[in-house]
Chain A
Amino acid sequence: MSIFARLLPLCLAFALAAPLAAQTPLQDVLQANRADIANPSRGTVGQVIAALMAADAPGTDEFLRQWQDRTVIEEPQTGLFYYATEVEGRQLALIDVDSGFEAARVGSRDVTAIRPNAGVRREIGAALVRFELSAPDPARRLAALEAIGRSPDAEQIALLAASIPDEPDTDIRIRKERLLDLLNARFATETATRIAAIAGLSGDVSTEARRALNQILATEPGIAPSLPQDRNIARVLIPGQDLSREDAYDRLVAASLAPARADRNSIRDGLLAHVADGMVGGLPTHRMSDPSARLAAYDALVAQGLVPPLVSEADIDQSLAGYAFFDAYLEPDATLTDAARAAIEQTDTRLRLFQWLAISLDALSLASIFFLAAIGLAITFGVMRVINMAHGEFIMMGAYTGYVVQTMIPDYTVSLIIALPLAFAVAFAAGVAMERLVIRHLYTRPLETLLATFGISIALQQMAKNIFGTQARPLTAPDWLAGAISLNDVVSISTIRVAIFVLALIFLVALLVMLKRTRLGLEVRAVTQNPGMAASMGINPDRINMLTFGLGSGIAGVAGVAIGLYAQVTSEMGANYIVQSFMTVVVGGVGNVWGTLAGAGLIGFLQKGIEWFNPSNTLAAQTYMVLFIILFIQFRPRGIIALKGRAAGE
């Protein structure tokens, strides 16, 4: 080992020690205030904390926390302070306040535990918050703000307000001001301050702001003989209109204002309690399978005073008539609740707008996935009237290609850049091979193409299972695609979905350019519209068919990579998309890129729209969507954008 190497750690140690040397070690600061730390009182603790803060030794915050948690001890001989953690037996490990290393082990009776009382601990806690709120590290300040947001209370107002003027970071300053508003809205002592703060929250769609407003507007159910004047009443509930008679009566029962209704079970229990010698209420038990016999027996028991009488409908009505039902705000001040309600209405309007935007974004992203999955199919189906049931498996092939590339190239960005064209090539080759070997022989028998390609589909799926196994394989997105772009708490979209949208857009433009501007596109369109005529004009339909099939399959491969990035790669992933893809093509109208776009848009927005009405149940959304499509095809059998003319009729 060279001398240089030996010296290096030493140099480093000096380099690190240099800035530390400027500060006093924490232990020294503590020793300077030894007596007040060991026996803190409410009167002295303020000075001690001020002194600690002024010295700002590293680890001060940790010390305050431990002090508050009563885990600081004093070593009686040296008078030094340590943090204590219990180890096995009655042993305590003493941890040095500066280095954080274990200094010694002692019996728990050999040291003096420092036990600040509740008042002192509150002071320490406030100091800690203050300390953190003005910590030099912005991340710590943010963490402190978050902690306050999680468990807000009245005492934080002053601390927070005090930290705002010195806040150097504009973003954090804004957050602090908003948090202050939140605290003021709920805890400020002055009503005017609270109302001002509430007004400040109006239109703020963040979850914390909404939660704060909703907490001000929290209600509890109330019952009284007549509406009380001293309560801040949210709404009056009329039984039979605003709440059902049963619920209203149940409220009375819960408040012990009325006897419980007897349901079948309580009747049965009442009867069971008075069975004797196979008889109950004067009737034999074997007749008790008849509900009317049970009632008769119960009535007999009531007559003997053995069970409480049944509550009749008339009784219920009478009980209900005697009381007013209402929901009252927990907050007694009506001006505050009115302000909060006005604010939340404002917020709700904006919220609906943002939710609408969020759903639209969701729908757009779903539509681009459908578009990507379906466009290849639309090309093959449109040009050749060939139903390719193996299309989904080309998507799967593309996704597995991406997976394999990723196992070989660890850099996700590079592997993605390689995987996209490679997936296209693999699927293109597979598509061309399939066209040459199978589909070409079946052009006159479209239904049989459907079946033959289905045969290929099950063979490919099973082969993928045999090769890659049945468990899902990950296709990891590079970091720059992994996050999410969020506008606020309501609207956010993952980057990967944006990327898929962009990819769909690129494909749309590329296909349109190819179809409208190139020779191949011209020939493809010619074959789509009239194969016979195209052939007679010297276009080789065989070649066009092969190329279009390859193209459609290749796009499926690329779509596979994209889909694999946000879903998982399994041998069945293609099958999950195939029916939807067909419906996209059919709904949109065959043989037309715009049609597919329209179909994907319709289906995507529809599915999200239905999900919006019933967010918990995506299965139901899908069911209704398929039903809608079935009905849609009734009315527009040729899709949204249909080819017209005699050629379309064939």
Chain B
Amino acid sequence: MTLINRPPVAATAPILAQGTQTPPPRRGFLRENPSIPWFLGLLTIFTLIVSVLSEGLGIGALSTSMVKILGMTLCLCLIAIAMDVVWGYCGILSLGHFAFFGLGGYAIGMWLMYARTEIVIRESLTGAVLPPTEAELSEAVAAQIFGVVGSSELPLIWSFAHSLPAQLALVVLVPGLLALVFGWLAFRSRVTGVYLSILTQAMTLALALYLFQNDTGLRGNNGLSGLQNIPGLFDIPQAVLAVWFLWASALALGLGYLLFAWIVSGKFGSVIRAIRDNEARVRFLGYNVEGYKLFVFTLTAIISAIAGALYYPQAGIINPAELAPIASIYLAVWVAIGGRGRLYGAVIGAATVSLLSSWLTGGGAPNIEIGAFRLMWADWWLVFLGLGFVAVTLFFPKGIGGLFDKIVRKAP
């Protein structure tokens, strides 16, 4: 060890650089993160190919429902990278991010449903002798929307449902505030590890139970439906809308990726990874750990909500079952299979598992005959997913992304 032979400089006084090491040349953000150009490039190519193959704008090789599935998958990839940042980088295994996703969906769904119903009712009343007043109109809309839960009054939480900008703001504000308050409470009392996971799960459960009630103003277990019909765009065929939403989802995913890559690449990324590895030590370095966690938790919650707001117009329906705690656990499964602590890993995991899942359970895959036994994918897929997941946790803790790293990065 060379150290002991060299007299050290007083630590306190400004030290003169003896070993003349110049600071490393500042490299560009993109050069430091080669995954970004790769990812954005592939995402663009993917989007172009799907557009060209789509029914709406291209040659029609891909059905509209397939385009929608792909668009939805992009949204799932977006929430997966949010989950990766909060869990893979910051070490908070949140079992609540799908709740934020759902809240985003509900917030936008309220506008979609209200505005669409209002247009329909306005049209049906065009022939009326007396044009309807605003109050009559909103009463009729309420009766239409809440008939299923036996009510005809517009609940208070629908006060802004007529306004797109307001509901868009709520997409961000409601989950953001919920995450902020919940996170503040949880982090402040130093709930960590599995306790925190259970607490977030409890939050999700409470939210789902709340939404399941008929009298909380979100149509109980009926949820919001018909969200694929965009108010004002009734004339545009679903095939075209599907491609537009694919573009929007791809744009959101690309921007989200950039944002998160920027966040995790700098010193902030260093700090949150340090929090993940040894929270107490980071405190003794003078960092307010709770503030960092709260920032990450809230920001990822907001991005999740945005992903949800893009997802549900493509899915067409949202109901409280979507928010059940199990959905958030599946999200963790995707990220774990894809590989934590690397953003593209989350994308790989979410895309692979959710696409495989819809292919296999949708009856797209051929059943396999093993002697007298007939393997039905729809029945057995979850068994294999579960066991495969155990195997990944045991043998490939870094997930598919880790394998990918080994092959790509270590290759000569």
| A–B contact (CB under 8 angstroms) | yes
Q: Which residues of A contact B (CB under 8 A)?
A: 264, 268, 271-272, 275, 280, 285-286, 288-291, 294, 385, 387, 389, 438, 441-442, 445-448, 450-452, 454-463, 465-466, 575, 579, 582-583, 586, 617, 619-620, 622-623, 626-627, 629-631, 633-635, 637
Given contacts A448-B397, A450-B93, A451-B393, contact A462 B379 (CB under 8 A): yes
Bound together, the chains give a CA A31 to CA B194 distance in angstroms of: 89
Option from A288, A452, A620 in Cβ contact (under 8 Å) with B389 = A452
Can you list 20 pairs linking A and B with CB atoms under 8 Å apart?
A: A272-B129, A275-B129, A275-B130, A288-B130, A288-B133, A289-B131, A294-B130, A445-B397, A448-B336, A450-B194, A452-B394, A454-B332, A455-B385, A455-B390, A459-B384, A619-B212, A620-B209, A623-B213, A630-B202, A633-B199
For residue B190, which residues in chain A have a CB less than 8 angstroms away from its CB? 637
Kindly list 16 other residue pairs between chains A and B, CB separation below 8 angstroms, not including A275-B130, A455-B388.
A275-B129, A285-B130, A290-B133, A450-B194, A452-B393, A459-B390, A462-B381, A579-B201, A620-B213, A623-B206, A626-B203, A627-B206, A630-B185, A631-B185, A634-B185, A634-B189
How many Å from the CB of B270 to the closest CB on chain A?
A: 21
Say yes or no: B193 contacts A447, CB within 8 Å.
yes
For B186-202 the 0/1 string (1 means CB < 8 A from A) is: 10111101110111011
Bound together, the chains give a CA A459 to CA B389 distance in angstroms of: 10
How many Å from the CB of B349 to the closest CB on chain A?
A: 12
For residue B93, which residues in chain A have a CB less than 8 angstroms away from its CB? 447, 450
Say yes or no: A272 contacts B390, CB within 8 Å.
no
Nearest A residue to B379 via CB reads: A466
Say yes or no: B386 contacts A633, CB within 8 Å.
no
Option from B182, B189, B198, B383 in Cβ contact (under 8 Å) with A635 = B189
Option from A575, A626, A634 in Cβ contact (under 8 Å) with B206 = A626
Say yes or no: A633 contacts B209, CB within 8 Å.
no
B370 beta carbon closer than 8 Å to chain A: no
For residue A462, which residues in chain B have a CB less than 8 angstroms away from its CB? 379-383, 386
Given contacts A447-B193, A455-B390, contact A264 B209 (CB under 8 A): no
For residue B197, which residues in chain A have a CB less than 8 angstroms away from its CB? 387, 447, 450
For residue A271, which residues in chain B have a CB less than 8 angstroms away from its CB? 130
How many Å from the CB of B376 to the closest CB on chain A?
A: 8
Say yes or no: A452 contacts B203, CB within 8 Å.
no
Bound together, the chains give a CA A441 to CA B397 distance in angstroms of: 12
For residue A579, which residues in chain B have a CB less than 8 angstroms away from its CB? 198, 201-202, 205, 325
For residue B384, which residues in chain A have a CB less than 8 angstroms away from its CB? 459
How many Å from the CB of A640 to the closest CB on chain B?
A: 14
Which 6 pairs across A and B sit closest by C-beta, in order of nearness?
A459-B386, A455-B389, A462-B382, A626-B206, A289-B131, A458-B386
Given contacts A442-B393, A447-B197, A633-B189, contact A459 B131 (CB under 8 A): no
For residue A285, which residues in chain B have a CB less than 8 angstroms away from its CB? 129-131
For residue B182, which residues in chain A have a CB less than 8 angstroms away from its CB? 630
For B226-262 the 0/1 string (1 means CB < 8 A from A) is: 0000000000000000000000000000000000000
Say yes or no: B383 contacts A291, CB within 8 Å.
no
Given contacts A634-B186, A637-B195, contact A466 B212 (CB under 8 A): no
For residue A456, which residues in chain B have a CB less than 8 angstroms away from its CB? 386-387, 390
For residue B385, which residues in chain A have a CB less than 8 angstroms away from its CB? 455, 458-459
How many Å from the CB of A448 to the closest CB on chain B?
A: 5
Option from B193, B198, B393 in Cβ contact (under 8 Å) with A582 = B198
Option from A387, A442, A583 in Cβ contact (under 8 Å) with B202 = A583
Bound together, the chains give a CA A495 to CA B364 distance in angstroms of: 50
B333 beta carbon closer than 8 Å to chain A: yes
Given contacts A455-B387, A626-B206, contact A288 B131 (CB under 8 A): yes
Bound together, the chains give a CA A452 to CA B337 distance in angstroms of: 11
Say yes or no: B201 contacts A582, CB within 8 Å.
yes
Within 8 A of A (CB), among B129-149: 129-136
Given contacts A454-B333, A461-B382, A579-B202, contact A446 B194 (CB under 8 A): yes
Nearest B residue to A463 via CB reads: B383
Bound together, the chains give a CA A14 to CA B329 distance in angstroms of: 77
Bound together, the chains give a CA A631 to CA B206 distance in angstroms of: 12
Bound together, the chains give a CA A291 to CA B198 distance in angstroms of: 53
How many Å from the CB of B204 to the closest CB on chain A?
A: 9
Bound together, the chains give a CA A582 to CA B326 distance in angstroms of: 14
For residue B131, which residues in chain A have a CB less than 8 angstroms away from its CB? 285-286, 288-289
Say yes or no: A459 contacts B382, CB within 8 Å.
yes
Bound together, the chains give a CA A626 to CA B93 distance in angstroms of: 19
Q: Which residues of B contact A (CB under 8 A)?
A: 93, 129-136, 182, 185-186, 188-191, 193-195, 197-199, 201-203, 205-206, 209-210, 212-213, 215, 325-326, 329, 332-333, 336, 379-390, 393-394, 397
Say yes or no: B206 contacts A630, CB within 8 Å.
yes
How many Å from the CB of B362 to the closest CB on chain A?
A: 16
Option from A288, A385, A455 in Cβ contact (under 8 Å) with B386 = A455
Say yes or no: B386 contacts A466, CB within 8 Å.
no
Say yes or no: B213 contacts A617, CB within 8 Å.
yes
How many Å from the CB of B375 to the closest CB on chain A?
A: 10
Bound together, the chains give a CA A457 to CA B134 distance in angstroms of: 52
Nearest B residue to A620 via CB reads: B213
Bound together, the chains give a CA A583 to CA B191 distance in angstroms of: 14
Say yes or no: A623 contacts B329, CB within 8 Å.
no
Option from B133, B202, B387 in Cβ contact (under 8 Å) with A629 = B202
Say yes or no: B332 contacts A451, CB within 8 Å.
yes
Bound together, the chains give a CA A461 to CA B131 distance in angstroms of: 57
How many Å from the CB of B93 to the closest CB on chain A?
A: 5
For residue A457, which residues in chain B have a CB less than 8 angstroms away from its CB? 386
Say yes or no: B206 contacts A451, CB within 8 Å.
no
Option from A446, A454, A461 in Cβ contact (under 8 Å) with B193 = A446
For residue B194, which residues in chain A have a CB less than 8 angstroms away from its CB? 385, 387, 446-447, 450
How many Å from the CB of B52 to the closest CB on chain A?
A: 37
How many Å from the CB of A230 to the closest CB on chain B?
A: 43
For residue B203, which residues in chain A have a CB less than 8 angstroms away from its CB? 626, 630
How many Å from the CB of B157 to the closest CB on chain A?
A: 15
Bound together, the chains give a CA A459 to CA B333 distance in angstroms of: 13
For residue B189, which residues in chain A have a CB less than 8 angstroms away from its CB? 633-635, 637
How many Å from the CB of B128 to the closest CB on chain A?
A: 9
Bound together, the chains give a CA A286 to CA B385 distance in angstroms of: 62
For residue B382, which residues in chain A have a CB less than 8 angstroms away from its CB? 458-459, 461-462
How many Å from the CB of B280 to the closest CB on chain A?
A: 10
How many Å from the CB of A290 to the closest CB on chain B?
A: 7
Say yes or no: A264 contacts B135, CB within 8 Å.
yes
How many Å from the CB of A643 to the closest CB on chain B?
A: 14
How many Å from the CB of B164 to the closest CB on chain A?
A: 22
Say yes or no: B209 contacts A626, CB within 8 Å.
yes
Say yes or no: B135 contacts A291, CB within 8 Å.
yes
Option from A619, A630, A631 in Cβ contact (under 8 Å) with B213 = A619
Bound together, the chains give a CA A289 to CA B199 distance in angstroms of: 51
Given contacts A387-B194, A463-B383, contact A626 B389 (CB under 8 A): no
Bound together, the chains give a CA A634 to CA B201 distance in angstroms of: 15
How many Å from the CB of B94 to the closest CB on chain A?
A: 11
For residue B215, which residues in chain A have a CB less than 8 angstroms away from its CB? 617
Nearest B residue to A441 via CB reads: B394
Bound together, the chains give a CA A213 to CA B260 distance in angstroms of: 71
Nearest A residue to B131 via CB reads: A289
For residue A455, which residues in chain B have a CB less than 8 angstroms away from its CB? 333, 385-390, 393
Say yes or no: A626 contacts B205, CB within 8 Å.
yes
Say yes or no: A451 contacts B389, CB within 8 Å.
yes
How many Å from the CB of A638 to the closest CB on chain B?
A: 9
Say yes or no: A622 contacts B389, CB within 8 Å.
no
How many Å from the CB of A393 to the closest CB on chain B?
A: 10
Bound together, the chains give a CA A635 to CA B198 distance in angstroms of: 16
For residue A447, which residues in chain B have a CB less than 8 angstroms away from its CB? 93, 193-194, 197
Bound together, the chains give a CA A613 to CA B107 distance in angstroms of: 30
Say yes or no: A465 contacts B202, CB within 8 Å.
no
How many Å from the CB of B134 to the closest CB on chain A?
A: 7
How many Å from the CB of A453 to the closest CB on chain B?
A: 8
Bound together, the chains give a CA A624 to CA B397 distance in angstroms of: 37
